[in-house]
Amino acid sequence: MKITDKSYQATGRPCFICDYSPARSGDPGQVDQADIDADMIAVAYNPGRAVRANSAMLASAIKSRLGREASFTLATRDMNKLAMESQLLGAQLLGLENVIVVQGDPFSQRDLERTKEAGDQTPTQLIAGITSLNRGLDFRESQLRGPTDFCIGATVDLDRPLEQEAALAHRKVRAGAHFLITQPIFDPSQAAAFEEAYAAVAGQSLNLPVFYGLQVLEQDGVIFSTVPGAVREELAQGKPGVQIALDLYQRLIDAGLHNVYLVPPIRRGGARSYNAAREFLSGAGSR
């Protein structure tokens, strides 16, 4: 099922995408860890620039074994257009409908001594390429035997200059993105400012689902966005990260933001606390 059909705009109820990192192994047991009561499990693509289980294959296993909707992520860093579009056809064969497009963190100098980036297209160009696949054409404009039918997600980072990010989001939407996902935010006013900036750039309101990032924090955990001092102080004083996240969730709901991209705690070394995500979703369901 496409995530846009589960979004608040389609159902009138809150919708949750939960971030999920593949393991650094092919152990089938990692599938069971994804048994999380979210509307969609978003399988990341090689987070940390590390070798991990293939995102589409893992998403397919989650869907078939657990019966949960799952999306897969693709990074333009690692594959050229031919490999990327073949991967997408394989994902269609596995019954996957939702894909999230990212650029991927750049390789370090040490990485580049061992491998090299493919990167022959930007995320916006890949979104346009998937849109073309949905019309039945590959990157050479050759006709496929049948079109794909992917629901395409694009990413937004509201810690970056707002006008620049709004313009980039608009280009991604014009290329064919069906929904947006943001990095974690800690103030609902960031969402309002982004949507205002987008309307100024696009000349019209943003009329597709935006899943605003909400990270469950832990002491000494890894954080990928700017955390306000007051939130850091609450955490340092012992307030549980799940409770901090639930309080923020209530503020998002009060601001009319009902689509959430949930980021479970990330520990040093890359381990995740999916139990914290389960606890959060249980608490959110009672609100």
- Chunked into runs of 10 residues, the chain (287 residues) has average pLDDT values of 97 97 90 96 90 95 97 96 97 98 87 85 98 98 97 96 97 98 96 97 96 93 83 92 97 97 86 94 86
Output the pLDDT for position 62: 98
Output the pLDDT for position 107: 80
Question: Which residue, among 139, 134, 46, has the nearest Cα to 97 in the 3D structure?
Answer: 134
Contacts of 2 (CB under 8 A, 6+ apart): 97, 98, 151, 178
Output the pLDDT for position 115: 87
Output the pLDDT for position 217: 94
Residue 283 tokens read as 């608490």
**Structural element, H or E, at residue 213:** strand 210-215
Output the pLDDT for position 111: 80
35 CA to centre of own chain:
18
Q: What's the CA gap between 182 and 161, in Å, rounded? A: 14
DSSP code at position 4: G
- Sign of the CA dihedral with 229 first, then 209, 87, and 61 last: positive
Q: What is the 3-state secondary structure (H, E, C) of 5-54?
A: HCCHHHHCCCEEEEEECCCCCCCCCHHHHCCCCCCEEEECCCHHHCCCCC
pTM, two decimals, is 0.95
CATH number of 3-285: 3.20.20.220
